[in-house]
């Protein structure tokens, strides 16, 4: 009996010991309000399997709960004055971090959002919340947006260029203020609260669309230093940055430094064949190849930013200085004439350019009353550039052609915005703006000339926004543009052009919406196109503007649909664009030279396209699949009479495991069909990269298009006085292999937070009783 008792006691003690040694898992994070401030004293109820936990957030809004290993944890967060949040968290690692965002109960009708598994529909767009996988697979604003795999948004992970599925360029904002590439690369994903996408014009974003807005966590004090370096191979390039950020109450100070170099030429080659119908006609064919295949560009930059932000005022002052130098670009040409007016010739050309660009911007926005807002913005940029080029024929009897230039360019802008909101959810916005461009270019060498261009554009838009049936949003824009330009000593010209646009945002359900816009735009031709100055482009081509250029009209319309089905997001779209007699290039023959100029009234251009994009998250968001398909067509009438059709598809997958991630994307061959005399083909392309994040360190390595054979294009054009066939092709599609390393550390950081509120005991009791 004693032996049995001893055996049972030993077994129970052993089981208890094993249970005691089993590691506990944790869920931790911070509770914020919609403005990015920490919320202390919020009540958190958690349920894992059959065990329930309860606690309140600390003075910085932080919380942490320990529990036995499980697949998921249910969280419910409540706070007086805020709407409760319920969320189920997947736990596939010992430590899970998540940020919870509370919405104010007093939000207006047009600000009410509906949660849909980390994505929320809202006025004019979507709000996307970031999970721990996406944060760990990123180190700046661009890589974060790429890692979020938002369908309908195409963003290059390295350059940061982003566009919608319809091809509209996306403008970036941070906390509602305009931003720059330097500031976006200084962002750390762990400081981003959420990412917002708006394709509907809103006063808080200067009525621009489409935009991406990063909402940041707010810090009371402290800062961080981040260092990053990216080195590319094959096409050699480097990008090295140092960022210093410091917060003190309502002020933020930034010093951002960068050094970049890149090889511009990727081995692109061209073949051209012209039939000149002058003096009996002759054929000229040209083949251009780059000799050494390299043209390296250097850029050094420094940016200083001072920001002030309070509940009703936002102020930003930016000073930037850039130095750019492109030392050498060498190309080889082989010219052949039929009949043989002159012997075949071979030539070479080189070009060098350098310049310095200071930039200054001031932006201020003030909430005057609850229903009124005013904003003022101004910027100034100066560019000083020196360039020289040489075209030397390698056949006796020809003199080298030199074309040197010195230019000074000034760009400025000043604008103001006033918005007034009515009680019936309608808003009237007035946003006048003046843009100016002044350039002075002196060409020396074989063909000396002087080009002075001055252009001033005054935009006077008026926006009216409202709700139809208290649900459907609409925005009507009427804009008048006054443009004054002068080239050299020519007569100053002034033109007035109207623009009208209608934008719609139609919520279909809690998780679905339709967006659409229709625009009719009248645009004056650029002043540079009207300059009569003759510029030497190469050894057989001259370029000259056309002072008789007039205005042209454009009509654009698109429609898109967004639906969030929990872990699945779908986004089909369609668009059409029509250019009425837009400016086009024309060619004429003068003294055996090909003169390129511009003309209008020679035909329309029409584009139509449609497609669909989607993403699916599986395995607790550790696996994300993406797919898309598109079709585009164009039709030119008049002088350039041709048409074309193109289609392609794309696939992508991202897998996250603990602190590692692997991503692969593929774009199919894009090839034209039923294109008449125009032939166009782009080979398949792909991107592959891996990331690893550990505390303050971040590592990334990737490659793209290493084995691709490049692209090919052939176009036959019939135009005034000549027939031309142009072949363009590339030996490769910019192959890349790169490695990125970054490191950052904080010093003295302290979150801003709302004033602690007393916990409503009735709400707490309700939480505990319901489970």
- Residue 679's SS3 state is strand
pLDDT(581) > 70: yes
pLDDT(768) > 90: no
The percentage of residues in the chain with a pLDDT greater than 70, rounded to a whole number, is: 74
Give the integer Cα–Cα distance in Å for 390 and 347: 10
> According to the model, what pLDDT value does residue 550 have?
76
pLDDT(245) > 90: yes
pLDDT(752) > 90: no
**Model's pTM, two decimal places?**
0.81
> In this predicted model, which residue has the larger pLDDT, 627 or 759?
627
> According to the model, what pLDDT value does residue 534 have?
75
Range with top average pLDDT, 94-98, 192-196, 342-346: 192-196
* Helix, strand, coil content of the chain in percent (nearest 5): 10, 65, 25
> According to the model, what pLDDT value does residue 508 have?
83
Range with top average pLDDT, 621-630, 680-689, 707-716: 621-630
| Beta carbons of 344 and 334 less than 8 angstroms apart | yes
* Dihedral pair phi/psi, residue 204, rounded to 5°: -70, -10
Each residue of 285-323: b (16+ CB within 10 Å) or e? ebbbebeeebbbbebebbbebebebeeeebbbebebebe
> According to the model, what pLDDT value does residue 340 have?
54
> According to the model, what pLDDT value does residue 736 have?
80
pLDDT in tens, 164-219: 888 888 999 999 889 999 999 999 998 998 899 998 888 888 888 899 999 998 88
pLDDT(315) > 80: yes
pLDDT(536) > 80: no
> According to the model, what pLDDT value does residue 396 have?
44
pLDDT in tens, 427-482: 999 999 999 988 888 877 666 777 788 888 899 999 999 888 777 889 999 988 88
> In this predicted model, which residue has the larger pLDDT, 21 or 287?
287
pLDDT(308) > 90: yes
Nearest to 445 by CA among 406, 395, 409: 406
> In this predicted model, which residue has the larger pLDDT, 538 or 238?
238
* Dihedral pair phi/psi, residue 764, rounded to 5°: -60, -45
pLDDT(413) > 80: yes
Q: 118-127, 659-668, 683-692: which range is least confident on average?
A: 118-127
Question: Which stretch of DSSP H or E encloses residue 536?
Answer: strand 534-536
> In this predicted model, which residue has the larger pLDDT, 337 or 33?
33
Domains, the chain, ranges and CATH? 21-106 (2.60.40.1120), 108-217 (2.170.130.10), 219-266+285-421+733-752 (no CATH)
Describe the strand order of the beta sheet including 584-590 as a list of residue ranges: 534-536, 541-544, 593-599, 584-590
Nearest to 463 by CA among 500, 498, 435, 507: 500
The percentage of residues in the chain with a pLDDT greater than 90, rounded to a whole number, is: 26
pLDDT in tens, 476-535: 999 888 888 777 776 677 778 888 999 998 888 777 889 999 999 888 777 667 777 777
pLDDT(609) > 90: yes
> According to the model, what pLDDT value does residue 243 have?
96
> In this predicted model, which residue has the larger pLDDT, 637 or 419?
419
pLDDT(760) > 50: no
Q: Which residue has the tokens 């305009």?
A: 178
**Average pLDDT, integer, range 269-284:** 55
pLDDT class of 626 with cuts at 50, 70, 90: very high
pLDDT in tens, 111-124: 333 333 567 777 78
Q: Exposed, middle or buried by CB within 10 Å (0-12, 13-18, 19+), for 376?
A: middle
pLDDT(374) > 60: yes
**Average pLDDT, integer, range 76-105:** 76
Give the integer Cα–Cα distance in Å for 388 and 390: 7
> According to the model, what pLDDT value does residue 761 have?
29
pLDDT class of 298 with cuts at 50, 70, 90: confident
Give the integer Cα–Cα distance in Å for 586 and 187: 46
> According to the model, what pLDDT value does residue 114 have?
37
């Amino acid at each position: 009996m004693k032996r049995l008792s001893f055996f049972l006691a030993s077994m129970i003690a052993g089981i208890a010991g094993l249970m005691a040694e089993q590691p506990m898992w944790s869920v931790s994070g911070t509770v914020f309000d919609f403005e990015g401030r920490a919320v202390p004293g919020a009540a958190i109820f958690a349920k894992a399997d059959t065990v329930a936990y309860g606690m309140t957030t600390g003075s910085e809004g932080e919380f942490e709960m320990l529990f036995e290993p499980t697949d998921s944890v249910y969280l419910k967060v409540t706070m007086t004055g805020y709407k409760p949040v319920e969320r189920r968290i997947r736990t596939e690692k010992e430590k899970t971090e998540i940020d919870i965002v509370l919405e104010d109960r007093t939000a207006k009708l047009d600000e009410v959002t509906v949660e849909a598994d980390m994505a929320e529909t809202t006025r004019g767009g979507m709000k996307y919340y970031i999970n721990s996988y996406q944060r760990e697979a990123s180190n700046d604003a661009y890589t974060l947006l790429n890692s979020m795999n938002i369908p309908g948004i195409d963003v290059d992970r390295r350059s940061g260029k982003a566009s919608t599925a319809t091809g509209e360029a996306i403008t970036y904002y941070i906390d509602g203020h305009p931003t720059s590439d330097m500031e976006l690369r200084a962002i750390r994903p762990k400081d981003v609260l959420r990412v917002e996408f708006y394709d509907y014009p809103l006063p808080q974003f200067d009525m621009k669309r489409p935009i991406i807005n990063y909402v940041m966590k707010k810090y009371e004090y402290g800062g961080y230093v981040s260092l990053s370096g990216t080195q590319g191979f094959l096409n050699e390039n480097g990008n090295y940055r140092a960022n210093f950020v410091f917060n003190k109450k309502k002020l933020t100070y930034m010093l951002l430094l960068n050094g970049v170099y890149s090889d511009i030429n990727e081995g692109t080659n061209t073949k051209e064949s012209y039939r000149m119908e002058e003096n009996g006609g002759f054929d000229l064919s040209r083949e251009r190849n780059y000799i050494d295949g390299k043209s390296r560009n250097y850029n050094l930059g420094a940016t200083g930013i001072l920001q002030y932000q309070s509940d009703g005022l936002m102020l930003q002052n930016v000073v930037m200085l850039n130095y750019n130098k492109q030392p050498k670009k060498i190309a080889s040409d082989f010219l052949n004439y039929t009949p043989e007016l002159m012997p075949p010739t071979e030539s070479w050309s080189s070009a060098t350019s350098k310049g310095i660009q200071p930039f200054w911007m001031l932006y201020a926005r003030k909430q005057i009353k609850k229903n009124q807002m005013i904003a003022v913005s101004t910027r100034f940029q100066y560019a000083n550039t020196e360039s020289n080029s040489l075209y030397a024929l390698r056949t006796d009897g020809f003199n080298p052609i030199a074309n040197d230039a010195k230019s000074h360019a000034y760009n400025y802008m000043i604008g103001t915005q006033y918005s007034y909101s009515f009680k019936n959810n309608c808003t009237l916005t007035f946003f006048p703006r003046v843009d100016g461009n002044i350039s002075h270019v002196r060409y020396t060498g074989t063909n000396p000339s002087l080009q002075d261009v001055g252009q001033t554009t005054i935009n006077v838009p008026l926006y009216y926004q409202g709700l139809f049936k208290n649900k459907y949003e609409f925005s009507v824009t009427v804009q008048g543009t006054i443009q004054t330009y002068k080239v050299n000593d020519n007569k100053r010209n002034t033109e007035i052009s109207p623009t009208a646009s209608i934008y719609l945002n139609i919520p279909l359900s809690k998780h679905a919406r339709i967006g659409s816009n229709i625009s009719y735009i009248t645009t004056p031709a650029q002043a540079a196109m009207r300059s009569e100055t003759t510029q030497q482009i190469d050894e057989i081509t001259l370029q000259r503007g056309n002072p008789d250029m007039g205005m042209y009209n454009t009509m654009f319309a698109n429609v898109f649909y967004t639906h969030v089905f929990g872990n699945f997001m779908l986004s089909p779209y369609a668009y059409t664009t029509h250019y009425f007699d837009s400016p086009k290039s024309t060619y004429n023959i003068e003294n055996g030279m090909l003169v390129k100029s511009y003309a209008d009234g020679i035909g329309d251009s029409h584009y139509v396209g449609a497609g669909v994009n989607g993403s699916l998250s599986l395995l607790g968001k550790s696996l994300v699949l993406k797919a898309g398909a598109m079709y585009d067509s164009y039709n030119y009438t008049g002088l350039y009479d041709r048409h074309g059709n193109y289609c392609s598809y794309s696939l992508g997958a991202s897998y996250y495991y603990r602190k590692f991630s692997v991503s692969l994307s593929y774009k199919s061959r894009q090839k034209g069909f039923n294109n008449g005399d125009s032939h166009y083909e782009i080979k398949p392309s792909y991107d592959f990269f891996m990331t690893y994040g550990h505390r303050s360190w971040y590592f990334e390595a990737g490659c793209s298009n290493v084995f691709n054979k490049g692209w090919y294009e052939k176009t036959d054009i019939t135009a005034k006085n000549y027939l031309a066939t142009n072949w363009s092709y590339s030996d490769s599609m910019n192959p890349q292999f790169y490695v990125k390393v970054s490191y950052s550390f904080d010093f003295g950081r302290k979150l801003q937070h709302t004033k602690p509120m007393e916990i409503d005991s009735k709400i707490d009791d309700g939480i505990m009783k319901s489970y």
